[in-house]
Amino acid sequence: MVKKQKPQFLDEHLFRQEMDGVVPLKTEPTTESKALRTPYRKHKPPIEPEAFRPTGKPLADDHRHIDTDDGSSHRKNGVQKRMLQKLKRGQFPLGGQLDLHHMTTRTGHTALLEFIAHAQDRSLASVRVIHGKGTRSESGPRLKLMTYKVLREHPHVLAFTACKPADGGTGATDILLKST
């Protein structure tokens, strides 16, 4: 008596026989890939403050992802407009606040980078920076412009927007951070 092969083994054998000699195509991995991703590293290398030094370029030179004319609102690629709207409405709980008043641009820059790093370590989703409007400054709103520039370039910042008038208006900025 001849024993019948199970259909799945027969199919697999036929498939392997047909695919003999076939070389897979070399393609670039895409973001839509369902393949497992590399595990998240807990300890990231620290971000060097020199990488975010103000370059002296005016803020108006870069309008790629600025959502308002005055640059007070920004979101990175991949961040939905709805997230920015929620941030504008104050729907994210604030985990911390930094006041840059009476600081120089250099000390404010260092304090801002340290504040963002500390917020990332504590896994905070949203924080606020108070930089002032710069209306009484002879040289204009330098802290405000420095804050916008650093936030636009920082890899851990997803979006930022000026606060509601009751929370400081354009003298303060709410920031949405990447989750860790």
In order along its 180 residues, the chain shows pLDDT tens digits of: 555 555 567 888 888 888 888 887 777 766 665 656 555 555 555 555 554 554 544 433 343 444 445 667 888 888 888 888 888 888 888 888 998 888 888 998 999 999 999 988 888 888 999 888 877 777 778 888 888 888 888 888 899 988 888 888 888 899 998 886
The domains found in the chain, sorted by start residue, are 73-180 (3.30.1370.110)
pLDDT of residue 62: 40
What dihedral do alpha carbons 43, 48, 53, 55 form, nearest 10°?
-100
SS3 for 98?
strand
Distance CA 74, CA 54 (A): 18
pLDDT of residue 64: 42
| Distances, alpha carbon 125 to alpha carbons 4, 57, 77, 94, 107, in Å | 62, 29, 18, 8, 24
pTM for the structure as a whole: 0.60
pLDDT of residue 46: 53
